[in-house]
Amino acid sequence: MIEYITTLLINAAIFALFSLGLNLQWGFAGLVNFGHVAFMTVGAYTTVLLSLNGVPLFLAFLIAAAIAGLLGLLIGSTALKLREDYLGIVTIGVSEMVRLFVNNEEWLTRGTRGVQGFPLPLVNLLDRQYYSFILALLLLVVVAIVYWRLEWLVRSPWGRVIKAIREDEEVVKALGKNVFWYKLQAFAIGGAIGGMAGSFYAWQLTTVYPDNFVPLITFQAWTIVTIGGAGNNLGVLLGAALFQFYNALPRFLPEQIRADGGRFEAIQLILIGVTLILLMVWRPQGLLGNKKELTLNR
């Protein structure tokens, strides 16, 4: 039971970290990104491939975050010039391009065979049976640090400019600020955080395949941000915990339903859908959000 709870905690923390990056891009900067999973893909593959080639895990983790951030700069340098709806279309297209790249370039990523047998953090120092607990501890520390620094960042003058751009970028331009540069920074930082989530996702799965990074992962993060509240980092953490609660339901359902995976998956989707409907009716800004963060309705 403790092992199961630890696994749920790891999953919730990974998606909380992943969604914090999306929340910076959308909730604070108003950038519609439907391809956030691309950063997770880059982070996961960079970490495992570097570690297989002898790069220390901590350094591989940092390099993976940096490369994911560079991908954000590359995407943003062109896509951020587009309107919100076109930006969303371009980002989901880029995420599929990244997934197809790792699926087909076997010389680098091993393609559909996936990557297995890569080093795991601290696994050689402790008994393998304690690996999930160590991973959970490392992950919680990273989530806490990222949350702390994001809270500082969005309350800084930089964060106030980002939120002003979300509300009305023409006013910010009139004040002499380089709106495009601020957007690009937010997109790159959010991408780097997504890359960090990808590293932990790979360590948790202990094997990496292209099909681990389908567009559904991005929309799960959107669901988390919507439930918790766009533009509220604490709300994202709460949304991730609630989302993961639905994944814990098999332990509390009758045996007949648990044995029928298809039926249970349908129940999960229904519960998530009902939650979103109730939120849209009674609290469209999310559990801890503010109505001012609803940038899609500008």
In tens, the pLDDT along 5-59 reads 898 999 999 999 999 999 999 999 999 999 999 999 999 999 999 999 999 999 9
| C-alpha distance from residue 169 to each of 32, 45, 93, 159, 231 (Å) | 15, 36, 26, 14, 17
Quickly state the pLDDT bin for 298 (edges 50, 70, 90): very low
Helix 57-79 to helix 179-205 angle (10° resolution) is 140
Give pLDDT tens digits for 268-282: 777 788 888 888 888
What was the pLDDT predicted at 264?
64
The whole-model pTM stands at: 0.92
- Predicted confidence (pLDDT) at residue 294 exceeds the cutoff of 70: no
DSSP letter (8 states) at residue 28: I
Helix 37-52 to helix 215-228 angle (10° resolution) is 120
Chain position carrying tokens 């648990």: 258
281 vs 226: CA distance, rounded Å = 13
Residue 93 burial class via C-beta count within 10 angstroms: exposed 0-12, middle 13-18, buried 19 and up: middle
What was the pLDDT predicted at 250?
60
> 66: closest CA among 175, 160, 196?
196
Pick 286 or 293 by higher pLDDT: 286
Please name the helix (run of DSSP H) or strand (run of DSSP E) that holds residue 207, with its range, or none: strand 207-208
277 vs 132: CA distance, rounded Å = 35
Q: Is the dihedral of CA 224, 228, 231, 237 positive or negative?
A: negative
Give pLDDT tens digits for 203-230: 999 999 999 999 999 999 999 999 999 8
- Predicted confidence (pLDDT) at residue 233 exceeds the cutoff of 80: yes
Percent of the chain beyond pLDDT 90? 65
> 65: closest CA among 122, 145, 180?
145
Where in the chain are the domains? 2-214
Question: CB 269: neighbour CB atoms within 10 A?
Answer: 11
Chain position carrying tokens 């039926």: 263
Residue range 116-123: mean pLDDT, rounded: 88
Q: Can you say how many angstroms the Cα of residue 47 is from the centroid of all Cα atoms in its chain? A: 16
